Structure 1
Amino acid sequence: MTFLDLGLSASVLRAVSDAGYENPTPIQQQAIPLVLAGHDLVACAQTGTGKTAGFTLPLIDRLAAGRAKARMPRSLILEPTRELAAQVEESFTKYSKYHKLSTALLVGGVSADDQLAKLNRGVDVLIATPGRLLDLYERGAILMNDVRILVLDECDRMLDMGFIPDVEKIASLIRPDRQTLLFSATMPPEIRHLAKKFLTKPLEVHVAPPASPAKNVEQAIIKTASLGKRDALRTLMASETISSALIFCNRKRDVDILYRSLQKHGFNVGRLHGDINQSIRTETLDAFKEGKITLLVCSDVAARGIDIKGLSHVFNFDVPTHAEDYVHRIGRTGRAGLKGKAFTLATAGEKKFLDAIEALIGDPIPEKTLEGIVPQNPADAKSTDLRDNRRDGRRGSGRSRGQKPAPAPHKTPETGAVSPKTNTPPETTTPVPPPASAEAPVVQPAPPAPAHRKPEERDPQQRQRDSRRHHHGGNDRREHAQPKPAETVAPTREPASQEKPEHPVRDHNHGRTPDAGRDQNRGNRDDRGGRNRNDRNRDHSQNRSDREVRDNRGERHHRRDEDDNFPKVKGFGDNIPAFLRHPRKA
């Protein structure tokens, strides 16, 4: 079967012929006629089988008639990563060169000004990541009213990255009579639930068993120790003829470490992970595609969306923790009918991940041995289990933020017993000598005199009173305090009665009168002068009483003086300028 048998237009066939393709892949043979007929489609095929052209070519013909309106795209393609979105845009540009279709790319990490400018002119094909699309929609920069075709590409990857809630929200914003196309390399239950919810009577296309690697990719495992992984990788690459290769790591930190190590040993290498600026990522990826970089160390963010022609090798520096990621990683090589090689470095601690991969693909991965490679160390498995246990312990019983660690136990010098270490010194007791005879009475030692308690041993209220007393002068203020007024005479204490009061009152002043204690605690002296605060308050009350009179009805009135004709102005005293004098009304 050729592309002529799929029902594509002459202009699309001409663009395909210019790209150098003659025969369609199995997924293209089954998907293209169904998309042209307008059916909803669920396509499951492994990576590298031409799924992108499976929906790109028929969409060009479907959108050939019509014109887009401002801020209202006619079709929407959702991609999990920026790299994959850029690759789909390149595919549309390549195959629609004989059509006047406009495309726009909405991805994060770059300025949105150029993207908004394209949207305002109107686009036929909008290729976006879920996060940036929702951001612009909430700002009112894009409308979904005219979207008639929705494509969900790499759905299993979007599931792994947590984009399914965003995908569901976006699908609910589009008109229900749309055509929906779903493409995925695997078909977990969550993807089937998504297809059942948003697709209308979809037709399913299964080209290969789910999560099965390509048959033209040679696979092998090299078992080594964790400390000898980098040496094993260099030895392995020296034994192979490499035109271009991807090296995958599980963590971004390992990507940086391995990149610096290979660069130090003279390899032509680049790196790619999610924390790198988008412009640098694009520049590095373009250099790798052009052959300026031979080795590219990357994380799983690049496992999808990188279509490198003639990629000869894929090296898994770490065994992927998710079995599906193994299929996507090695699917970068052996594309379009070409042969490729995929090697995985495995330690003893990664055996459980390796078993999951073999269970998923249904076949054991052959082992390859090389001279000079450090064999596996059983201690790696124990260290991995130990890290897992520590991680679980931190989740369950770890101390919260701000909580102090438990005190370390220490031995007491007398008995050697282990007790928790505290800040207070251990209590010392006087040993009691044994009695001289059985008839002699045992004399108990007298109780020790009450010592002054330390600040940490006092109750909170006592510490607050002591700190206030120390701030205002403490006991030294009592010696210089003014004599007490005559009306504040401390009552004499009555002899304690035998009966207890019904409601005992706590003595907060420790035997002092409340007024005296309050004056002593506050400090009776004014900071700006030597007068007593009580004297100033008493003078103020006396002046106020002289100026107040009461009439026959008991109402209080102010007595007017001569100075009351003009208000007092703070800062001038009696010398008030003329422009501030305003006589009061009588």
Structure 2
Amino acid sequence: MNFADLGLSDELLRAVTEAGYSEPTPIQAAAIPQVQMMRDLIAIAQTGTGKTASFVLPMIDILAEGRARARMPRSLILEPTRELAAQVAENFEKYGKYHKLSMALLIGGVQMGDQVKALEKGVDVLIATPGRLMDLFQRGKIMLNDCKLLVIDEADRMLDMGFIPDIEEICTKLPNDRQTLLFSATMPPPIKKLADKFLSNPKSIEVARPASANLNITQALIKVDERKKGDVVRRILRSEDDMSTIIFCNRKTMVRDLAKSLKRDGFASGEIHGDMDQSSRIAELDRFKSGSINVLVASDVAARGIDVKGVSHVINYDTPWHPDDYVHRIGRTGRAGAKGHAYTLVTAKDAEAIDNVQKLIGTQIPWSDAFSGGASRAAAPVEAAAEEAAEASPEARKGRKRPGRAKADEAKAEAAKPAKPAKAEKAEKPAKAEKAPRREARAERDEGDAPAPRGRSRRDEGREPEREAPRPPRYQQQDAEEDGAWNGPVPGFLSASFGTGS
């Protein structure tokens, strides 16, 4: 099957061909005809399957007929993050260049006045994050009663970020006879409830099992000591020529430290994380896309927002705290039918997290000793790997004694016994009791209850950092809004209109 078999317009087929595509992916082949028939749709598709084009392409042809009115968009696409919204805008610009359609992008960090001006001209396609859309709606700057097509993209991510109440309110302000398309990598109960409430007799499409990992991605776990992670990463990066690699860390401080360390060692590396403003993040992504750097160190703020062709490797420097993040991280490689590799560095404390990942994807990830220098662990369970890693830790070694010293230590102990008065033992007990709260405090800190340090010095590089507890869901929307406000110039593809006609 090719795109011409899907009944797309000649102008659209021309744009798709110029973009370098000839055959649709499974999600595109299944979804595009349903959208063209104006049916509601639930599409379960993992990242990297081409799902964005599966709604962008038919929308362009559907919207080719009709005229937009001021402040009344004809269609609405909801995205959880600014990066994803910007990428959808890029898709409309790329595939809609031979159609006279107007587009507006509503995201935080951009001057609201410019967005209002774009809306006043009338837009055929409105791409928005829920927070900014609700803000403009409450100010009376936008009306949704003429919006006949709604797309809810990355629905499970919307749930994670706390946007579901906003989406429910937005749905109540749209016409009842609209067409609604819902895309998600997974289908947790709250998303199923949302679909049941706001979609009418939807067609369900599933191109891969929910939360499954892409079969085009070769996955492997690498057992490693916390202090040796950097060495293993360097071995992987030096293992092949022409690698294009994204390295994911759980903390922004580690992203910065690792990127600087790799640069010092001569790697062409960049970084992207939530403390960077939006223009800087876009600049780093552009450098990575152009090939001026081939290593990008990133935090999870970018896990679902990076769509770069040709990413050959993903390295999880830290095992993700949430299993879903694993699927989305490794989904940056192996896209659109290409082959990819995903390596996850596993320390003793990561046993439970890796177990949760494997339960989610429904398969055991093989162990590899290609870069760690250890014995092969392909069939070993995670628990055994964790025990061995724990035995290899400095704390465990400290408690061991070499056989040659054992007898000498026993002799010293026997010689010392008569010199100890009985009262000394009693005097020691209160001191031990006083130390107990300190041990408890240290245990709590090690489990992530205490706040993590804001930065790390070069002297600390390689040491095991304190864990940061993940933010509760109710704060994640706020984090998303604060993660990198758009302080720089607005990229060219975010203009209010595109297309000059054929």
The residue that corresponds to 2:444 in the other structure is: 390
The residue that corresponds to 1:298 in the other structure is: 298
Q: Give yes or no for contact 1:349–1:380 (8 Å, CA) kept in 2.
A: no
The residue that corresponds to 1:254 in the other structure is: 254
The residue that corresponds to 1:351 in the other structure is: 351
Distance in 1 separating the partners of 2:298 and 2:122: 36
How far did residue 323 of structure 1 move?
1.1
- Code of the aligned partner of 2:137: Y
Q: Give yes or no for contact 1:347–1:380 (8 Å, CA) kept in 2.
A: no
The residue that corresponds to 1:310 in the other structure is: 310
How far did residue 57 of structure 1 move?
0.6
Distance in 1 separating the partners of 2:264 and 2:440: 32
Residues 330-374 of structure 1: CA deviation (Å, up to 9, x unaligned): 111111111111111110100111011111112211111146658
Distance 1:394 1:8, change over 3 A: closer
Q: Secondary structure at the match of 1:307?
A: coil
The residue that corresponds to 2:216 in the other structure is: 216
Distance in 2 separating the partners of 1:83 and 1:380: 42
- Code of the aligned partner of 1:94: K
- Code of the aligned partner of 2:361: I
How far did residue 85 of structure 1 move?
0.8
The residue that corresponds to 1:364 in the other structure is: 364
The residue that corresponds to 2:91 in the other structure is: 91
Distance 1:302 1:372, change over 3 A: closer
Matches within 5 A, 1:317-328: 317-328=317-328
More helix by share: 2
Distance in 2 separating the partners of 1:374 and 1:386: 34
The residue that corresponds to 1:263 in the other structure is: 263
Matches within 5 A, 1:103-252: 103-252=103-252
Distance 1:16 1:348, change over 3 A: same
How far did residue 301 of structure 1 move?
1.4
Distance in 2 separating the partners of 1:296 and 1:257: 13
- Code of the aligned partner of 2:228: G
- Code of the aligned partner of 1:40: D
Matches within 5 A, 1:567-586: none
Q: Give yes or no for contact 2:311–2:332 (8 Å, CA) kept in 1.
A: yes
Distance in 1 separating the partners of 2:218 and 2:447: 41
Q: Give yes or no for contact 2:225–2:393 (8 Å, CA) kept in 1.
A: no
Q: Give yes or no for contact 1:350–1:381 (8 Å, CA) kept in 2.
A: no
Does residue 378 of structure 1 match 2:378? Answer: no
- Of structures 1 and 2, the one with the larger relative CO (CA 8 A, separation 6+) is 2
Q: Give yes or no for contact 2:79–2:130 (8 Å, CA) kept in 1.
A: yes
- Code of the aligned partner of 2:390: P
- Code of the aligned partner of 1:137: F
- Code of the aligned partner of 1:220: A
Q: Give yes or no for contact 2:220–2:343 (8 Å, CA) kept in 1.
A: yes
How far did residue 58 of structure 1 move?
0.6
Distance in 2 separating the partners of 1:275 and 1:296: 15
How far did residue 240 of structure 1 move?
3.0
Matches within 5 A, 1:432-581: none
- Code of the aligned partner of 1:113: G
Distance in 1 separating the partners of 2:230 and 2:181: 43
How far did residue 388 of structure 1 move?
10
| TM-score w.r.t. length of structure 1 | 0.64
Residues 177-235 of structure 1: CA deviation (Å, up to 9, x unaligned): 11110001111111111101111111100111111111111111111011111122112
- Code of the aligned partner of 2:173: L
Does residue 21 of structure 1 match 2:54? Answer: no
How far did residue 167 of structure 1 move?
1.4
How far did residue 238 of structure 1 move?
1.6
Distance in 2 separating the partners of 1:86 and 1:353: 32
Q: Secondary structure at the match of 1:276?
A: coil
Distance in 1 separating the partners of 2:20 and 2:223: 41
Distance 1:60 1:338, change over 3 A: same
The residue that corresponds to 1:286 in the other structure is: 286
Number of paired residues?
Answer: 396
How far did residue 110 of structure 1 move?
2.6
Distance in 2 separating the partners of 1:187 and 1:7: 30
The residue that corresponds to 1:471 in the other structure is: none
Q: Secondary structure at the match of 1:132?
A: helix
Distance in 2 separating the partners of 1:49 and 1:41: 17
Q: Give yes or no for contact 1:228–1:373 (8 Å, CA) kept in 2.
A: no
How far did residue 387 of structure 1 move?
9.0
Distance in 2 separating the partners of 1:339 and 1:227: 30
Distance in 2 separating the partners of 1:116 and 1:287: 31
Residues 384-412 of structure 1: CA deviation (Å, up to 9, x unaligned): x989951699979x9xxxxxxxxxxxxxx
Q: Give yes or no for contact 1:225–1:374 (8 Å, CA) kept in 2.
A: no
Distance in 1 separating the partners of 2:441 and 2:346: 17
How far did residue 242 of structure 1 move?
4.2
- Code of the aligned partner of 1:48: G
RMSD: 2.5
Which has more radius of gyration? 1
- Code of the aligned partner of 1:19: A
Distance in 1 separating the partners of 2:142 and 2:393: 52
Residues 507-543 of structure 1: CA deviation (Å, up to 9, x unaligned): xxxxxxxxxxxxxxxxxxxxxxxxxxxxxxxxxxxxx
Distance 1:321 1:97, change over 3 A: same
Residues 290-333 of structure 1: CA deviation (Å, up to 9, x unaligned): 11221111111111132111111111011111111111111111
- Code of the aligned partner of 1:63: L
Distance 1:202 1:372, change over 3 A: closer
Q: Secondary structure at the match of 1:336?
A: helix
Distance 1:45 1:6, change over 3 A: same
Unaligned runs of 5+ in 1: 399-586
Distance in 2 separating the partners of 1:273 and 1:132: 21
Q: Give yes or no for contact 2:221–2:345 (8 Å, CA) kept in 1.
A: yes
Q: Secondary structure at the match of 1:105?
A: strand
Residues 21-41 of structure 1: CA deviation (Å, up to 9, x unaligned): 111111111111110111110
Distance 1:292 1:183, change over 3 A: same
Q: Percent identity?
A: 58
Unaligned runs of 5+ in 2: 376-387, 396-438, 452-502
Distance in 1 separating the partners of 2:270 and 2:48: 23
Which contiguous aligned blocks of 4+ residues in structure 1 show a shift greater than 6 angstroms?
A: 379-383, 385-388, 392-396
